[in-house]
């Protein structure tokens, strides 16, 4: 089995669909350039038929992208596929990504189609897309709530029609990890021609399992993961690219595969997305949150000062974060406070450190956050007091002499 896990980034398509995350053309181009620096395999640049803005963004990204495959999403409608190809035709490596819903609830209430009609549409769409380019991905929307037998039939049919990638979306984040792993196993066992295509997954986070489901898929042979920077996307979002990549990098004992992501570009990508969208990630977000490499508890700070591996399973530098942070607060110990004072330019003795520590913890109890200026103020005050005592003692010794 191939040991390369393909990263299909859909920040510019599914990610942008989230309320408040709209990006204009220039912003999308900046983000696409960063995704290439990150070395993602595939950039899903948008949904070309959705709007003129989406069309132009996909077209310009397709023209400018040098290494990554550029994908455009379309329904199983010929006009969608034609428009997608119009946008993608200048790409060095184009991919047409077509989809149709396969669950009973979507077929009945959204599409008003029978399973036979949906299968016919899927096959016709893949054949039409194949007439434009060789790389054609087919997605069965709401796969995890679909009848498995129907999934076997429609996937087998689109493979025969020419699909090169089969995507299994957990569109509404419904599946639990063990259920999702079982679905992948069943597809591998029951889809005709599955050995000739790449299996992909696209997981949402409505129940908080998007990354876990993606990792379970990898364990069961899936070799393309669809994800976004910072986990942005519809409703609760998509599987977070940074969490998937670093799970494999940090736990190679559990995975016999890896991505080609340049991990040092993860944090810059996260920061750029936050700048563009003006939406910051929550502080406790894994890998890229402000607190991901921050330590306030005294025991933790003491351990990190002695050896960072005591409380950090990856280095901040490995994902592009400049350094870890020892956050000085009421849970901090004397060692961390002394380290902070040294960085502020103060060299204190044990007596001074104890006095500063007592004043510092009292201030922390009174405030939510203590600034570096306030810590420096405490140090100057106590240092000045120590100097006065020292001068008085010296004067007394001189008088006595």
In terms of DSSP bridges, do strands 294-295 and 198-203 run parallel, antiparallel, or are they unpaired? Answer: unpaired
Distance from C-alpha of 204 to C-alpha of 108, rounded to nearest angstrom: 22
Contacts for 110-116 with beta carbons within 8 Å, 24 or more apart? Answer: 115/147, 115/150, 115/153, 115/154
pLDDT at residue 273 tops 90: yes
Distance from C-alpha of 85 to C-alpha of 73, rounded to nearest angstrom: 10
Q: Give the number of other CB atoms < 10 A from CB of residue 362.
A: 11
328 within 8 A of 340, measured Cβ to Cβ:
yes
Q: Name which of 71, 81, 181 is nearest 122 in CA terms.
A: 81
- Read off the pLDDT of residues 366-389 as tens digits, 9 standing for 90 and up: 777 777 667 778 887 886 665 544
Give residue 92's pLDDT band: very low, low, confident or very high (50, 70, 90): very high
Per DSSP, helices labelled H in 194-343 are 210-219, 241-250, 266-277, 298-306, 334-343
Give residue 394's pLDDT band: very low, low, confident or very high (50, 70, 90): very low
pLDDT at residue 395 tops 50: no
Q: How many CA atoms lie within 13 A of 201 on its CB side?
A: 34
Tokens of 355: 């006095």
Phi-psi region of 136 (alpha: psi -120 to 50; beta: other; left: phi over 0): beta
pLDDT at residue 189 tops 80: yes
pLDDT at residue 233 tops 50: yes
What integer pLDDT is reported at residue 323 of this predicted model?
66
CATH 3.20.20.70 residue ranges for the chain: 6-277
Element (H, E) at 170: strand 165-170
Tokens of 80: 């969608």
Q: What is the CATH number of domain 6-277?
A: 3.20.20.70
pLDDT at residue 127 tops 50: yes
Distance from C-alpha of 143 to C-alpha of 184, rounded to nearest angstrom: 11
- Read off the pLDDT of residues 274-327 as tens digits, 9 standing for 90 and up: 989 989 899 899 999 888 877 666 666 667 668 777 767 788 889 988 766 556
Q: How high does pLDDT run on average in the chain?
A: 90
């Amino acid at each position: 089995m191939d040991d390369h896990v393909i990263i299909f980034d859909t920040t510019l398509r599914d990610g942008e669909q989230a309320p408040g995350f709209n990006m204009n053309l220039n912003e999308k181009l900046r983000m696409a350039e960063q995704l290439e620096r990150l070395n993602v395999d595939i950039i899903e640049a948008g949904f070309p038929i959705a709007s003129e803005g989406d069309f132009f963004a996909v077209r310009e990204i397709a023209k400018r992208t040098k290494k990554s495959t550029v994908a455009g999403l379309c329904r199983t409608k010929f006009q969608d596929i034609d428009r997608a190809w119009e946008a993608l035709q200048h790409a060095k490596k184009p991919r047409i990504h077509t989809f149709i819903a396969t669950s009973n609830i979507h077929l009945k209430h959204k599409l008003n189609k029978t399973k036979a009609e949906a299968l016919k549409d899927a096959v016709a769409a893949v054949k039409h897309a194949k007439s434009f380019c060789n790389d054609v991905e087919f997605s069965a929307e709401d796969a995890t709530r679909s009848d498995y037998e129907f999934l076997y039939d429609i996937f087998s049919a689109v493979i025969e029609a020419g699909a090169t990638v089969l995507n299994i979306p957990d569109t509404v984040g419904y599946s639990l990890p063990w259920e999702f792993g079982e679905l992948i196993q069943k597809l591998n066992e029951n889809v005709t021609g599955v050995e000739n295509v790449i299996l992909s997954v696209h997981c949402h986070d409505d129940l908080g399992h998007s990354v876990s489901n993606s990792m379970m898929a990898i364990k069961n042979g899936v070799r393309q993961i669809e994800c976004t920077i910072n986990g942005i996307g519809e409703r609760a979002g998509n599987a977070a690219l940074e969490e998937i990549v670093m799970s494999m990098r940090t736990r190679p004992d559990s995975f016999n595969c890896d991505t080609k992501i340049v991990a040092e570009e993860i944090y810059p990508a996260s920061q750029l997305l936050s700048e563009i969208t003006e939406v910051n990630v929550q502080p406790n977000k894994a890998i890229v949150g402000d607190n991901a490499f921050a330590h306030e508890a005294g025991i933790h700070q003491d351990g990190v000062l002695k050896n960072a591996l005591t409380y950090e399973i990856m280095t901040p530098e490995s994902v592009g974060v400049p350094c870890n942070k020892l956050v000085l607060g009421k849970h901090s110990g004397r060692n961390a406070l002394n380290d902070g004072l040294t960085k502020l330019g103060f060299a204190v003795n044990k007596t001074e450190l104890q006095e500063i520590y007592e004043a510092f913890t009292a201030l922390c109890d009174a405030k939510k956050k203590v600034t570096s200026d306030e810590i420096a103020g405490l140090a100057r005050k106590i240092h000045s007091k120590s100097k006065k005592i020292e001068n008085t003692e010296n004067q007394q010794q001189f008088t006595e002499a």
